[in-house]
Amino acid sequence: MSSPVDIKENSEEKKETVSRNFIENIIDKDIEEGRCKKVVTRFPPEPNGYLHIGHAKSIILNSGLAKEYGGQFNLRFDDTNPTKEKSEFVDSILEDVKWICGDLDMEHVFYASDYFDMMYECAVKLIKKGKAYVCDLSADEIREYRGTLKEPGKNSPYRDRTVEENLDLFERMKNGEFEDGSKVLRAKIDMSSPNINMRDPVIYRVARMSHHRTGDKWCIYPMYDFAHPIEDTVEGVTHSICTLEFEDHRPLYDWVVNEIDMENKPRQIEFAKLYLTNVVTGKRYIKKLVEDGIVDGWDDPRLVSIAALKRRGFTPESIRMFIELSGISKAQSSSDYAMLEYCIREDLKMKRPRMMAVLDPVKLVITNYPENEIEYLDVSNNQENPEMGSRKVPFGRVLYIDREDFKIEPPRKYFRLYPGNEVRLMNAYFVTCTDYVTDEDGNVTEVHCTYDPETKSGSGFNARKVKGTIHWVCAETAEKCEIRLYENIVDEEKGVYNEDGSINVNPNSLTVLDDCYVEPALAEAEALDSFQFVRHGYFCVDSKDSTKEHMVFNRIVSLKSSYKQK
């Protein structure tokens, strides 16, 4: 662990060599002025759903800052609202954070529910200081008394209860003597404050709900704005980094920290959320997509939940690259989905083998190739990265090629296979089309060719050139599989939502191809292994539906990109 001196020296060095974002500048100043000896950050999700790409920004930012300064990163579940929280969501968040960060120190995983006793004592402390009171107003009445952005609020008729009365009522709230919603505990601050969040906010409510960790121990639960600063203080968080919607809540955050008289006083810093064009991130909208059967769960590869991106085949490295390109600032902006696709292409292109796959197969028969003979050709795994070596690919008399690689009547400037034309079979031989067979509907079922043995790839043959090269798989050894082609879940031209608020679902967001063929080597691929399929894009083995008997590949992204890096 770095000492404060080391942290300061490293910080000075970084400022000379790297453009610092505004959060780093604040931390640098806190270190220089002696307000921070060890940087502690946290990611505080509420376990009421699956995390999405926007949460990834907060995870990467908070964990990255802790690592940069040799500090500590905490994962804390803000589980103060049992109505929406489930152990399923806790488990999914743990997996997502581990995946994004590469690892997770379980000693630094915390739960707000661990501090319920302490939060209760803090509330009692506020009552004894005359800074909190039990209020009998209903939720609608509290809203009415609060006032507006232009008009001040007015005091609750219960605001001047004595300390003794408030202590008694609050304890009886805890003991379950009152109905849900009949009483709340409110902070006593200022009903005329220009900041509406400071107008005696509710800090505890009666709610008979079974908690996923504490069971039925409690029938009162703290509100987030009260619980969150206590959690940060208890854990020794130095910089509470959150999104801009909490900027107006910062005075309340500071008020709680100051009034509970804790030694540690965190600094809250806000940054702009990550907005991604033409995607669905709202939990209620995703829930409806799931319930309506449009997607097969929160991890459907058309979504941008972290689980969905992982299943689609995105990597933590690509997501970190995307967050870095999107930047950290206070200005609200949107990032193009094409930039996320650019990042995964950049991450995979030098790492993954380039394999041959035929998505819409038609047979190609080499009539002059020996029957019942299989030869094994040397094929480079990645021509741009020779260090990845090579593999042996089987070749025989009968192959599969993609249907679009043969035309009976080719259009202008079509250089692939058609009657009388010669092309190269990738990594193999030159072949010339001599005939073809069609069914009763005129669909091509077989293409007949002859091959020239002298033209074997790698032999040095250069007597003549061909303009077209097509990929293939050997019919005798190829593995049959299912391939899923994904597009955006929404129609990009019309936007995410219809006028009535419903989701504008793209009917072509998923295309399933059942009769595809891939190289036999892919039979050994495991869940989430990814590859480039020549000319088709990047694909990965589906982690949910793929089996050894029926392999399923998801297209991560096509090879072509509309994104231009700025």
- Rounded mean pLDDT of 171-192? 96
CB 131 within 8 A of CB 259: yes
Q: Centre a 10 Å sphere on the Cβ of residue 389 and count the other Cβ atoms it contains.
A: 10
pLDDT of residue 3: 45
Checking if the pLDDT of 512 tops 50, the result is yes
pLDDT digits (tens, 9 = 90+) for 104-133: 899 999 999 999 999 999 999 999 999 999
Whether 502 has a pLDDT exceeding 80, the answer reads no
CA distance 116 to 444: 71
Q: What is the pLDDT of residue 565?
A: 63
**In this predicted model, what pLDDT tens digit does every residue of 221-248 receive, in sequence order?**
999 999 999 999 999 999 999 999 999 9
- Amino acid 563: pLDDT: 61
User: What is d(CA 178, CA 184) in angstroms, rounded to the nearest whole number?
Assistant: 10
Per-residue pLDDT tens digits for 352-405: 999 999 999 999 999 999 999 999 999 999 999 999 999 999 999 999 999 999
Model pLDDT, residue 434: 97
What does the pLDDT average to over 259-270? 91
Listed residue (546, 97, 100) closest to 301, CA to CA: 546
496 HSE (CA, 13 A, CB side): 13
DSSP string, 105-167: -GGGEEEGGGGHHHHHHHHHHHHHTT-EEEE---HHHHHHHH--SSS-----TTTT--HHHHH
Quick one: pLDDT at residue 9?
Answer: 47
Confidence of residue 478 (pLDDT cuts 50, 70, 90): very high
318 CB-near residues (< 8 Å, 6+ apart): 340, 343, 344, 346, 347, 348
Q: What is the percent of the chain where pLDDT is above 70?
A: 95
Residues sharing a CB contact under 8 Å with residue 94, sequence separation 6 or more, in sequence order: 75, 104, 109
pLDDT for the residue numbered 447: 98
The amino acid that residue 129 corresponds to is K
- The answer to whether the CB of 220 falls within 8 A of the CB of 248 is no
Give me the pLDDT at residue 562, please. 62
